[in-house]
């Protein structure tokens, strides 16, 4: 990829996520106390986010890579940290700053937001107590550089918290996810699902895999999948804890069309079964959360 192509894709990436931040901000404030009630967070992420926030102590210096509208950076500041959030989208950062100004008198720490191309990350050495990165690593083309910079920027004993997808979806996972999406009520009608099944035939699993991996969602979607970010982290850090996410529940959560009164009990039951199947090796998850110590 030449410089002109990279710059074009980077601008498109910023525009896309800026528009998404604007869409979400029109629905609810960029604050964890609001975002935690979104269905995908209730089912998939709330426990891990709360566990991360439990690591925060007043006075810590923290950094978030790929902060979007800033709700996680703000949540760390609300725990007393001096938090910095970096993102490529100026629109998303404007939303983060604007909301922070409305609540800063009630925030014991501080939050600052800066526009940055994470692939060109340059950080001050031994500055942060904790660095968090959620669902951004698989968008990055210079993962080795980014992880090296994070290691350099953390204080001795500092913590890297990373949550992302790792590798491609396994065939069995794709088949189970596809079957559940076919059987359960989703945002796609049963008529359209059956038409697609007959149309694609044996290629249907490829379409499901592409949907799970959000191929084509953004210019850099999946750009980091060819890099083993877990291995890159393990080479520089001590991995203290690894959390294997459910294999198919996240995809079903995004697809399911039902009121919360019906959806949440169903999804909680699916998550419990899903985790057991992953633990038994019958399904392979791609979502991983790691706690890595410098």
3.30.70.890, 3.20.20.70, 3.30.70.20, 3.40.50.150: CATH of 3-168+219-236: 3.40.50.150
Is the CB of residue 183 less than 8 Å from the CB of residue 266? no
Confidence at residue 223, expressed as pLDDT on a 0 to 100 scale:
82
CA angle 212, 184, 204 (to 5 degrees): 45
Confidence at residue 179, expressed as pLDDT on a 0 to 100 scale:
96
Confidence at residue 195, expressed as pLDDT on a 0 to 100 scale:
94
Which residues in 13-26 are b (16+ Cβ under 10 Å) and which e? bbbbbbebbeebbe
CA angle 77, 221, 282 (to 5 degrees): 90
Per-residue pLDDT 10s for the chain (294 aa) are 788 999 999 999 999 999 999 999 999 999 999 999 999 999 999 999 999 999 999 999 999 999 999 999 999 999 999 999 999 999 999 999 999 999 999 999 999 999 999 999 999 999 999 999 999 999 999 999 999 999 999 999 999 999 999 999 999 999 999 999 999 999 999 999 999 999 999 899 999 999 999 888 889 988 878 789 999 999 999 999 999 999 999 999 999 999 999 999 999 999 999 999 999 999 999 999 999 999
* This prediction's pTM: 0.95
Query: Which of helix, strand or coil describes residue 285?
Result: coil
Confidence at residue 226, expressed as pLDDT on a 0 to 100 scale:
78
CA distance 124 to 115: 16
Residues paired with residue 160 on neighbouring β-strands, in sequence order: 131, 292
Confidence at residue 5, expressed as pLDDT on a 0 to 100 scale:
92
Other beta carbons within 10 angstroms of residue 110's beta carbon come to 14
Mean pLDDT taken over the chain:
96
Other beta carbons within 10 angstroms of residue 208's beta carbon come to 23
The count of residues in the chain is 294
Sorted by where each begins, the domain ranges of the chain are 3-168+219-236, 169-212+248-284
Q: What is the tens place of the pLDDT at every residue in 107-147? A: 999 999 999 999 999 999 999 999 999 999 999 999 999 99
Other beta carbons within 10 angstroms of residue 6's beta carbon come to 15
């Amino acid at each position: 990829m030449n410089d002109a192509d990279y710059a074009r894709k980077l601008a498109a990436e910023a525009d896309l996520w800026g528009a998404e931040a604007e869409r979400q901000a029109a629905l609810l404030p960029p604050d964890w106390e609001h975002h935690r009630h979104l269905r995908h967070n209730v089912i998939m992420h709330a426990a891990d986010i709360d566990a991360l926030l439990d690591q925060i102590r007043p006075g810590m210096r923290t950094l978030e890579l790929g902060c979007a509208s800033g709700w996680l950076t703000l949540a760390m500041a609300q725990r007393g940290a001096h938090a910095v959030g970096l993102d490529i989208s100026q629109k998303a950062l404007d939303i983060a700053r604007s909301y922070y100004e409305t609540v800063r008198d009630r925030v014991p720490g501080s939050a600052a937001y800066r526009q940055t191309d994470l692939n060109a990350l340059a950080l001050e050495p031994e500055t942060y107590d904790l660095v968090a990165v959620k669902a951004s690593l698989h968008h990055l083309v210079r993962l080795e550089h980014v992880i090296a910079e994070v290691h350099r920027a953390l204080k001795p004993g500092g913590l890297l918290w990373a949550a992302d997808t790792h590798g491609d979806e396994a065939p069995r996972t794709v088949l189970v996810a596809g079957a559940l999406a076919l059987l359960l009520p989703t945002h796609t009608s049963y008529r359209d699902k059956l038409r697609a099944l007959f149309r694609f035939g044996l290629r249907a699993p490829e379409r499901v895999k592409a949907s799970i991996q959000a191929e084509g969602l953004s210019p850099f979607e999946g750009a980091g999948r060819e890099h083993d970010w877990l291995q890159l982290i393990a080479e520089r850090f001590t991995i203290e804890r690894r959390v294997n996410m459910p294999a198919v529940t996240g995809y079903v959560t995004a697809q399911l069309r039902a009121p919360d009164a019906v959806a949440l009990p169903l999804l909680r039951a699916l998550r419990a079964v899903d985790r057991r199947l992953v633990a038994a090796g019958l399904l392979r998850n791609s979502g991983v959360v790691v706690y890595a110590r410098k």
